[in-house]
Structure 1
């Protein structure tokens, strides 16, 4: 492969991902065509197929990118809390933040989830990506609660599932009634109580 092509490939891929997110949010995953994504990105179908084999693979690449960005952002926010100020309330304050552009991602991922529910193969593939995200969240929960002197009394993966359900269910209601339920409001109200119910204070010196 020519050296110039190798250097351009990451830029091409990034442009296609940005274009796909915008197109999926505007038209929906099912209605968006590969041609529309290419037109938005300014590339040909050949450029698309040199990076992705299908529209489903393109979505999953978006999913992984978004997941990695979310985990990095949350980790940076929580790591910035001084050790002597790390409480459940401070943790909740950080993880309940909802960025303005989260609405577009919510629209895209919700529609793809419905697609996956109807398509067993898509469901299986999405479940693998979901599992990797939950594993990262479970590790983060265990680590940062430990820093706060707390230990989980439930399975970390199960708790990650519950917190994702709370997040996604809360956002669904917030985007329908933003004036009555601002994004993140349900988590701020109930997450401290949930974490109090599923943790216990670690004995001093318990590593």
Structure 2
């Protein structure tokens, strides 16, 4: 059985990730130092560097953790009744408004802007975004199989479209939440878009 540092390391990493999420959301990615994260987590800089080499690497670990939480939520959706809309159920689950999602949007948008200006960061972010998109494409493919339909366009492109609509809609909702409550645009338009890009095979 693992003991000592080996046993503590996953807990240390988890606490650093929790601290980073909180401080990034409060001060911004660029406004947060490694020292800020360590102080919030109650660790020394040595604990940080035994788990991450850079602040960028820590963000990408947060990105992967967030992706897995979203995918777990989507995979746990119960099939609808016979007259239900599978696409609508999935989109509804994917766009449930929460304070954490708003905070994550602030964090990831700032990092994306940074990556657009920094080729190394862009290449690193693209690797993690590709994994997310591949998972979304697989989920869409599985849904199509369940519905007895097939996509009429490339699944990777369809996944890109779904992600783009969700991210763009969130930006508008967070700026004007009273006029456009979070999730409304996605729930209204994504299901018919998905149906428009699928065709029956039965």
TM-score, normalised to structure 1, is: 0.92
Q: Deviation per CA, 1:143-176, whole angstroms, max 9, x where unpaired?
A: 0122022211111111111111111111111111
Which residue of structure 1 aligns with residue 34 of structure 2? 34
- 1:101 counterpart SS class: helix
Residue 195 (str. 1) matches residue 194 (str. 2): yes
1:193 Cα deviation after fit: 1.8
CA distance in 2, matches of 1:92, 1:69: 15
Which residue of structure 1 aligns with residue 135 of structure 2? 136
CA distance in 1, matches of 2:83, 2:146: 10
| Runs of 4+ with >6 A deviation | none
8 Å contact from structure 2 (residues 88, 191) kept in 1: yes
CA distance in 1, matches of 2:56, 2:164: 23
8 Å contact from structure 1 (residues 86, 147) kept in 2: no
Which residue of structure 2 aligns with residue 163 of structure 1? 162
Which residue of structure 1 aligns with residue 92 of structure 2? 93
8 Å contact from structure 1 (residues 25, 107) kept in 2: yes
RMSD: 1.4
Cα separation, partners in 2 of 1:31 and 1:89, compared to 1, 3 Å: closer
Q: Unaligned stretches of 5+ in structure 1?
A: none
How many pairs align?
200
Q: Unaligned stretches of 5+ in structure 2?
A: none
Which residue of structure 2 aligns with residue 81 of structure 1? 79
Which residue of structure 1 aligns with residue 182 of structure 2? 183
CA distance in 1, matches of 2:75, 2:58: 26
TM-score, normalised to structure 2, is: 0.94
